[in-house]
Amino acid sequence: MSELPSISIIMPALNQSRFIEEAIRSVINQMYPKLEFLIIDGGSVDGTLDIIRKYADRVHYTSEPDFGLNHAVNKGLLEATGDFIGWLNADDTYELGALHTVGRYLRERPEVDVLYGEGGKIDENGRLIGFHAEPYDRARLFYHRDFIPTQSCFFRRVCLARVGLLDTALRWNGDWDLWRRFAKHYKIHHIDAHLGNWRVYQGTLSYGPNVDHLAKSLETIGSARAHSGRLITPIELRIWPWILIDLFSLRPFLRKVRAWLLRARASGKPGCG
């Protein structure tokens, strides 16, 4: 056990009283022998701090206003002392035994700098609804999609000295940007093991009626171009139609069409099967 690498878990939080206790328990229940657990709260006012304080003997936490998710994570990255670092949002969870699986893998493969596994998608009630991960493909990571789940990714702390911290100018693509910077210099491995879960529900940074989809799409294109050096990247070919849809405010109409098609399929109307 003494040969296992030390792991720091960073949990950014802001007004997550609904989910954070489940997230915290998913970390401390790992019973990993060389664990550092840092919670970076952005000044919650909804009872989140009361929940965090219940576990004050198991976590190190701070609470003060910050400039968003990436800034909060960066504060944790600067405090972390573990050999490897994991980042778990306050509404996500780890699978039981995940850290031991990661620790044993990294102990046997000292050449690995970044390790990620399967990331489940769960709904607001914790039900598994899918998975979000693919075997590692460098070109696909750069030009097509982010298939590395934050909730199941662990990276060597010393690598940050070369690639830097999260880009606080990015709101939606901060993790993808960091993975691509790692990929330029370090060895990334994929492990076929379910390690963490991403909670998908209305009201998150990426989902819900208040998401600025146009800004998100433009940021994704800008980030892709910054790393690819290409005039046009494959991901743009998928995103540009959605940019036009957002420019003409067609998403509500498309949602209605989709809902109508689903109702029609459920009712068994001809031509909709």
pLDDT digits (tens, 9 = 90+) for 145-184: 899 999 999 999 999 999 999 999 999 999 999 999 999 9
Q: Which residue has the tokens 């991403």?
A: 198
Residue 272 is predicted with a pLDDT of: 44
CB-based burial label for 197 (10 Å; 0-12, 13-18, 19+): buried
| Angle CA 153–127–211, to nearest 5 | 70
Residue type, 11: M
Percent of the residues in the chain that have a pLDDT greater than 70, as a whole number: 94
**Pairwise CA distance, residues 249 & 173, whole Å:** 23
pLDDT band at 254 (very low <50, low <70, confident <90, very high): confident
Q: What is the pLDDT of residue 269?
A: 53
pLDDT higher at 131 or 235: 131
- Sign of the Cα torsion 180, 182, 186, 190 reads negative
Question: How do beta strands 60-63 and 93-94 pair?
Answer: unpaired
Quickly count helices (H) and strands (E) in the chain.
10, 9
Alpha-carbon dihedral angle through residues 107, 179, 144, 94, given to the nearest 10 degrees: 60
Q: Model confidence at 271, in pLDDT bands (50, 70, 90)?
A: very low
pLDDT the model gives residue 273: 43
Q: What angle do CA 115, 26, 52 make, to 5 degrees?
A: 120
Q: Rounded distance, CA 243 to CA 249, Å?
A: 10
pLDDT at position 124 over 90 = yes
Q: What is the pTM of this model?
A: 0.86
Cα(134)–Cα(105) distance, integer angstroms: 18
Q: Note the Cα 140 to chain centre separation in Å.
A: 18
Sign of the C-alpha dihedral, residues 240, 245, 248, 249? negative
Which residues, listed in sequence order, are joined to residue 199 by a DSSP beta bridge? 122
Q: What is the mean pLDDT of residues 240-249?
A: 77
Give the residue ranges of DSSP H helices in 91-212.
Answer: 98-108, 138-143, 160-163, 174-185
Determine the pLDDT at residue 94. Answer: 98
**pLDDT one-digit tens code per residue, 183-228:** 999 999 999 999 999 999 887 766 656 678 788 888 888 888 888 7
Mean pLDDT, rounded, for 32-50? 97
Residue recorded with tokens 């840092």: 38
Between residues 265 and 26, the one the model is more confident about:
26
